[in-house]
Structure 1
Amino acid sequence: METKSPTRPTTRPLPRQAALIVNAHSRKGEALFAQAKEKLEQAGMELLAAHAIKNPERMEETVAKAIADGAPMVIVGGGDGSMSGTVDQLVGKDCVFAVLPLGTANSFARTLGLPLDLDGAVDTIANGQRRRVDLGMIDKDYFVNAASLGLSPMIGKTVPHKLKRYLGRIGYLLWAVKCSVGFRAFRLTIDDGQQQWRLWSTEVRILNGPYHGGVELSDHADVDSGEIVVQAVVGRSKPRLAWDWYAKFFKLRDRDAHTEEFHGKAFTITTRPRQRISIDGEVLAKTPVVAKVAPGAIEVAVPAESQA
């Protein structure tokens, strides 16, 4: 059953001071860092710091330092992996998380209704409003948008960086075809503490928002629902998994025919055999895990009602 709460904008205005931290290793980050800095300053933002990070492993420590130095807002430029890798530092802090969508899929930006072009994203940061949103969690690791197990982590772990950098979502699709050759279905168990479900599956998506890989996968997941959504592609058929992605990509009428959804605060997820878990595009965990929601965990910058 769907249990969405209304959008939760807050009344305090967005800060006029911020730290800008861009993943220069992302698809567009290196090329757009200088433009982003210039446009933000032209829009009236005072940048307390500005960093183009070529080593993605330094993103989290750079964000942590900016918060520790007192930045009231941190602007992170990159893809969903950059957002997920840095958002932990914002939890429990009086600091706004602002997004420059410079990645391949930009699922979190799509969920928040952000413009995907640089000018629109800058306008949101300069003239938008605050919104308090949920985060998902895999064990103790926060994520902004989605985690997955099955074929997606195999793709994410092995896809050549240049393929996704230059071909974007088409590159992922081509690599998915290659990876599917040796992939096998697995036994899945989902337990919410009161009920247990057992089924065969080829892919499981753990959703804090509707998008994964830039594709809208669920009509019921959202960042202010107070719930996590577990969506399983059921059965053992790889063609059925391919059809599910195709149907959801093109928003066909029967796009949910091969999936089951489970809604709740927390689920224990186990598989046979064990499966790697991709968290916002980065392979960081392995089953069994506890997937849960962290309600109202951070404040983000979103378009004002007049912009929307």
Structure 2
Amino acid sequence: MITKSPKRPLPRQAALIVNAHSRKGEALFAEAKEKLEEAGIDLLAAHAVKNPALMEETVGKAIADGAPMVIVGGGDGSMSSTVDQFVGKDCVFAVLPLGTANSFARTLGLPLDLDGAIAAIANGRRRRVDLGMIDQDYFVNAASLGLSPMIGRTVPHKLKRYLGRIGYLLWAIKCSVGFRAFRLIIDDGQQERRLWSTEVRILNGPFHGGVELSDHADVDSGEIVVQAVVGRSKPRLAWDWYAKFVKLRDRDAHTQEWHGKAFTITTRPRQRISIDGEVLAKTPVVARIAAGAVDVAVPANP
């Protein structure tokens, strides 16, 4: 396990960078800025970024300008697209959960309401956490292949913005009509496994899509978890999501998990890969862990 670092307090100075395109980003930016200042955080800069493609550049500039902590507001895609900038830097990554699923915030034990998240940033502590990697791309929470990338690539932004996780569910039903199972080849360097699968989740933390999918993945375990829904049945995939959503006792009946430092993942046919909700890669890939990669802000009493 990666040790925590309680002796260094969270900085009192920070930059605030909010993805105004996220589900609640534009509506809550001004309120977040005001409440952070009221909580005693000295904001060196504050930006509501209307073009999500500029989030990484804006965060990188804030770090280069010397901000000891950067508060990123948005969903899991915003966190994943900016976290690379923190690797190897003495800058705390703080999260304002303003997206749809907010899986990374759930993993960190952060409150999902604005006041609670700000309280964690103002009065919390540092925690050193792992990041996942798909080839050279860091991610905070989860990557997936199968039905999820099809949903992420095609879901209308307004459906996601106004209906949240229910919107994802409705779109998933639509996408499942033309979806087909695939052959999965997973190799940890010692053993190669081949099986049919309808979805593969590559987990740095337990949550994906706001649903707790694994009892074994955590952000300070030093290992990546690969979880596959086995077989060719689409109803089985739907049941797996339902069982995990409502936390049935036998919710893991149709999945297999592997734990380790790195896996080579190949599929036939090739599959697109969604990385924290954004479709950014395609098999074959190497999935691995970057242990103890960044400092994050978490509540003082998890």
Q: Is the 8 A contact 1:28 1:102 kept in 2?
A: yes
Q: Is the 8 A contact 2:2 2:129 kept in 1?
A: no
SS of residue in 1 equivalent to 2:172? helix
Q: CA deviation at 1:8?
A: 2.1
Q: Does 1:81 align with 2:77?
A: yes
Matches within 5 A, 1:11-26: 11-26=7-22
1:298 to 288, 294, 299: 294
* The 10-residue stretch of structure 1 (199-208 or 9-18) with the greater mean CA deviation from structure 2: 9-18
Q: CA deviation at 1:6?
A: 6.9
Question: C-alpha separation between the residues in 1 aligned to 2:295 and 2:113?
Answer: 22
Q: Does 1:220 align with 2:220?
A: no
Q: Is the 8 A contact 1:229 1:261 kept in 2?
A: yes
SS of residue in 2 equivalent to 1:245? helix
Question: C-alpha separation between the residues in 2 aligned to 1:296 and 1:107?
Answer: 19
What's 1:253 paired with? 249
What's 1:36 paired with? 32
Q: CA deviation at 1:9?
A: 3.9
Q: Is the 8 A contact 2:2 2:292 kept in 1?
A: no
SS of residue in 1 equivalent to 2:62? helix
Identity between Structure 1 and Structure 2 (%)? 88
Q: Is the 8 A contact 1:96 1:300 kept in 2?
A: yes
Matches within 5 A, 1:233-248: 233-248=229-244
What's 1:268 paired with? 264
Q: CA deviation at 1:281?
A: 0.0
Question: C-alpha separation between the residues in 1 aligned to 2:2 and 2:56?
Answer: 31
Q: Is the 8 A contact 2:18 2:72 kept in 1?
A: yes
Q: Does 1:285 align with 2:281?
A: yes
Q: Is the 8 A contact 2:2 2:128 kept in 1?
A: no
In the TM superposition, what whole-angstrom CA distance separates every residue of 1:145-190 from its partner, at most 9, and x where no partner exists?
0000000000000000000000000000000000000000000000
In the TM superposition, what whole-angstrom CA distance separates every residue of 1:186-223 from its partner, at most 9, and x where no partner exists?
00000000111100000000000000000000000000
Runs (4 or more) in structure 1 with deviation over 6 Å come to none
Q: Is the 8 A contact 1:29 1:78 kept in 2?
A: yes
In the TM superposition, what whole-angstrom CA distance separates every residue of 1:232-265 from its partner, at most 9, and x where no partner exists?
0000000000000000000000100000000000
Could you tell me which runs of 5 or more consecutive residues in structure 2 were left unpaired when the two chains were aligned. Answer: none
SS of residue in 2 equivalent to 1:197? strand
Q: Does 1:71 align with 2:67?
A: yes
What's 1:55 paired with? 51
1:157 to 136, 150, 153: 153
SS of residue in 2 equivalent to 1:182? coil
Q: Give the AA of the match of 1:25.
A: H
SS of residue in 2 equivalent to 1:94? coil
Q: CA deviation at 1:11?
A: 1.4
Question: C-alpha separation between the residues in 2 aligned to 1:36 and 1:299?
Answer: 22
SS of residue in 1 equivalent to 2:6? coil
Could you tell me which runs of 5 or more consecutive residues in structure 1 were left unpaired when the two chains were aligned. Answer: none
Distance 1:120 1:7, change over 3 A: farther
Give the TM-score normalised by structure 2.
0.99
Distance 1:7 1:259, change over 3 A: farther
Q: CA deviation at 1:7?
A: 6.3
Q: CA deviation at 1:10?
A: 3.1
Q: Is the 8 A contact 1:157 1:283 kept in 2?
A: yes
Q: Give the AA of the match of 1:52.
A: A
Give the TM-score normalised by structure 1.
0.97
What's 1:196 paired with? 192
Q: How many pairs does the alignment contain? A: 302
The CA RMSD measured in Å over matched residues stands at: 0.7
